[in-house]
């Protein structure tokens, strides 16, 4: 068995981070890769890593649990309609149903781009490239996440519009949010909400700040990719040409297909 070593002696100084390489191979997300490294499961050129702060070159021999790292597959992306009641994790100690158990068996191992909480529904992007998932999750990507939100209460249009300036709630700073009232029906109202950060339970906390109680959240778009008419539980692959156009990945440009996502302007 390979012996542990410090990061300085374990890998070349040039190349890409080991966690990113593992994620690109479709084995896990970057965060999962870092946990694997901490657990001593990853070796480079026969040396067990003790830190994820390691860069590896193209010719590095990488193993996970003693098995060679598979070659990275072309980047793939899917639109998935998450149903209410599913959690975005691979396993749950409480035995609740998960997104990944709900996916068709024909799909390769995928990771989600961000999450939706158990009571939220709608568009969830899935990819076989953990590095891409991390990239698309970052606020710096600038992609608008759009939601249809049903609330109990009577929203004040002025306070909704004020969210565009950002707000601080319980010491947490939330960036600009687009929020508009679509219709009021009895004691409930439907809103369209767009945000770019996607902090934990952000929509619910913003609405509570306005004195509104959320009783349904549907994500209808993530950047240029839309839920469209996908039925709950359905999965549709995004053509590689569209991935290349919308995300700029040269490795995804192989193959063809008609665009199924439109750019939100």
**Residues with catalytic function:** 117
Helix (H, G, I), strand (E, B) or coil at 171: coil
Q: Please give the distance of CA 226 from its chain centroid, rounded to a whole number.
A: 14
Q: Please give the distance of CA 244 from its chain centroid, rounded to a whole number.
A: 18
**Residue 191, token pair as written in the block:** 């809103």
198 CB-near residues (< 8 Å, 6+ apart): 114, 137, 139, 145
86 CB-near residues (< 8 Å, 6+ apart): 97, 98, 99, 102, 118
Distance separating alpha carbons of residues 79 and 101, to the nearest angstrom: 16
3 CB-near residues (< 8 Å, 6+ apart): 47, 48
Do 264 and 146 contact (CB within 8 A), yes or no? yes
154 CB-near residues (< 8 Å, 6+ apart): 184, 187, 189
DSSP calls for 222-258: ETTEE-TTPPTT-EEEEPHHHHHHHH--GGG-SS---
Residue carrying the six token digits 């109680």: 213
């Amino acid at each position: 068995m390979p012996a542990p070593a410090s990061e300085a002696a374990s890998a070349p100084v040039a190349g890409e981070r080991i966690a990113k390489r593992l994620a690109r191979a479709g084995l896990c997300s970057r965060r999962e890769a870092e946990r694997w490294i901490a657990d001593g499961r990853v070796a480079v050129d026969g040396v067990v890593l003790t830190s994820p702060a390691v860069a590896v070159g193209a010719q590095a021999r990488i193993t996970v649990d003693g098995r060679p790292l598979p070659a990275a597959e072309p980047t793939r992306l899917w639109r998935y309609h998450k149903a209410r009641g599913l959690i975005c994790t691979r396993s749950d100690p409480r035995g609740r149903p998960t997104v990944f158990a709900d996916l068709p068996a024909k799909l390769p191992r995928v990771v989600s781009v961000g999450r939706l909480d158990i009571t939220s529904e709608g568009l969830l992007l899935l990819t076989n490239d953990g590095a891409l998932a991390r990239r698309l999750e970052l606020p710096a990507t600038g992609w608008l996440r759009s939601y249809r939100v049903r609330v109990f209460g009577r929203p004040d249009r002025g306070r909704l519009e004020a969210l565009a300036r950002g707000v601080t709630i319980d010491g947490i700073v939330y960036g600009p949010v687009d929020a508009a009232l679509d219709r009021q029906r009895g004691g409930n109202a439907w809103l369209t909400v767009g945000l770019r950060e996607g902090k934990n339970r952000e929509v619910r906390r913003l609405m509570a700040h306005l004195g509104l109680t959320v009783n349904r959240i549907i994500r209808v778009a993530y950047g240029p990719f839309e839920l469209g008419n996908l039925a709950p539980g359905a999965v549709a692959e995004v053509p590689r040409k569209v991935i290349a156009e919308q995300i700029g990945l040269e490795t995804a440009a192989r193959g063809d297909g008609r665009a199924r996502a439109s750019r939100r302007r």
